[in-house]
Amino acid sequence: MEPVLLNDVHSQLNPCRVRQLALPESSDEAASFISTWSGRVSISGRRHSMGGQPYGAETLCLDTTRLVHVLDFDTIAGTVTVECGVTWEQLIRFLHARQESVAGAWGIHQKQTGADDLTLAGALSANIHGRGLSYAPFVQDIASLRVIQPDGQILLCSRESKPALFRLVIGGYGLFGFVTELTLRLRRRCYLRRQVQSISSAEVFPAFESLAAEGHQYGDYQFNVDENSSDFLHAGILATYCPTDATPAKSQRNLSNQEWLAFLELAHSNRQAGYQKYRDFYLSTDGQVYDSDLHAFGVYLSDYSRHLAARLRTFRLSTLMITELFVPIPAFPEFMEAAAGLLRRAGAPVIYGTVRRIEPDRETFLPWARTRMACIIFNLRMVHEPTELSRAIDKFRGLIELAIVYGGTYYLTYHRYATDQQLRACYPEFDLWLKEKRERDPENKFTNDWFAGVTRRL
């Protein structure tokens, strides 16, 4: 079979040629691939991670996208067991179809916002988060999982059974085994009323605190991305969601693909006008009601750059890349002030940015949220030219350094630009994590480009 060239969906900056791409259709078939393949194995889902985690050069890449069955739905315990390739869209479709007109129906706690076509095993492997005001990362929602080991053995892992492996696999980026199925804890679905207000960055976390005390369950803050404004990173739109007895109106404002594309066009060509238009849209949705399963779903345009190239004469080939930083909440205002200064420098403008509140992760081996954290997400424009990319990389490293200065960390999923010193500063457990990897997988059967790059440098 011919080698296959893969890349991440979002940034398109991580090309990788794998020796073979295989699409197992059962756990047993995946285990057979792993146990009989003489070389190394990487694991991919929908390939949204931008740090080189979904594939590895010269590996057998196991693509999970045919493992899409719902295996069990326990309506008493409120859990659902799915194969690794099931996406959020597929899960929600199943839950809604099975519980049509059922009072007290089960739904999900949290998912990533910004994209929906992502696998649940990918979410587990990156230990993702949503926008819950009192939620820890995704590990809190996992009851158990089955993971294929380097010898092809399939193990059940939970907090009670093989808890050490459970801690390593969640947030382990496929390096401690192939997660073939997982059991997800559910919540009762409800309707949520959106409350939207314009506030300053300094007011965000006091507002989160008071609104959470009033019963608001989800929320995020989208800040001004116009670097020429005095309000750059210092003003924005806070949207929170509170349970309500009301039901969604038959006609309410939602972003269409074309509207989202128009926002992206302005964000590239006139960020002041783009921010104002986006703010006005969000303010117009104040009071709208959403299903708790659906409020985090939205428009995602993976091919937006092709559309912008056709519409903007000055457009150069570019994509977006995310960096996600976490700082203790008391340090958030000072961090944003320092970040504004760094990001005003030429090159790699901020196209979109948001802030969340995250509860600590006390369960995984390599946690990125050790205390209650402010989560700050910057989406930077990456022009695919060497000088422009170099400037963007400097900004990413500068932002990570700021997070470290303020006692914070960064998320491994989105890029691999952090220096070795920054990696160790943010993840002091990293050497112990590597030791676990060597002991559990001495032949390094499971690997990926991110891990290979890190271990080459260390």
pLDDT score of 299:
84
pLDDT surpasses 80 at 419: yes
pLDDT band of residue 142 (cuts 50, 70, 90) is very high
Fill in the DSSP letter of residue 140.
G
What CATH number should be reported for the domain holding residue 288?
A: 3.30.70.2520
Q: Are residues 144 and 215 in the same domain?
A: no
- Tens of pLDDT, residue by residue over 188-239, are 999 999 999 999 999 999 999 999 999 999 999 999 999 999 999 999 999 9
Q: Are residues 170 and 206 in the same domain?
A: no
What CATH number should be reported for the domain holding residue 29?
A: 3.30.465.10
Mean pLDDT of the chain: 95
- Does 297 map to a domain? no
Fill in the DSSP letter of residue 33.
H
- Does 298 map to a domain? no
The structure tokens listed for 30 are 């995946």
pLDDT surpasses 80 at 313: no
pLDDT score of 332:
98
Contact 120, 87 (CB under 8 A): yes
pLDDT surpasses 90 at 252: no
Q: Are residues 74 and 141 in the same domain?
A: yes
Q: Are residues 13 and 129 in the same domain?
A: yes
- Tens of pLDDT, residue by residue over 331-350, are 999 999 999 999 998 788 99
Contact 46, 9 (CB under 8 A): yes
Q: How far, CA to CA in Å, does 458 sit from each of 56, 365, 421, 430, 450? A: 18, 19, 10, 11, 13
Residue that is written with structure tokens 């930077």 in the block: 380
The structure tokens listed for 457 are 């440098």
Q: Are residues 109 and 212 in the same domain?
A: no
pLDDT surpasses 90 at 300: no
The Cα 418–Cα 422 span in angstroms is 6
- Does 124 map to a domain? yes
Q: Are residues 243 and 161 in the same domain?
A: no
Report the first-to-last Cα separation within the chain, whole angstroms: 34
Report the 10 Å Cβ neighbour count for 362: 12
- Does 220 map to a domain? yes
Mean pLDDT of 227-255: 94
The structure tokens listed for 195 are 């409350």
Q: Are residues 263 and 215 in the same domain?
A: yes
Q: How far, CA to CA in Å, does 252 sit from each of 53, 169, 222? A: 39, 41, 21
Specify the DSSP element, H or E, that contains 328.
Answer: strand 318-328
pLDDT score of 309:
80
Q: Are residues 270 and 212 in the same domain?
A: yes
pLDDT surpasses 80 at 314: no
The strand pair at 218-223 and 318-328 is best described as unpaired
Mean pLDDT of 298-314: 81
pLDDT score of 257:
87
**Range(s) of the domain holding residue 254:** 191-292+303-420
Number of domains in the chain: 2
Q: Are residues 236 and 372 in the same domain?
A: yes
Mean pLDDT of 401-412: 98
pLDDT score of 114:
81
Q: Are residues 387 and 451 in the same domain?
A: no
- Tens of pLDDT, residue by residue over 5-36, are 999 999 999 999 999 999 999 999 999 999 99
- Does 353 map to a domain? yes
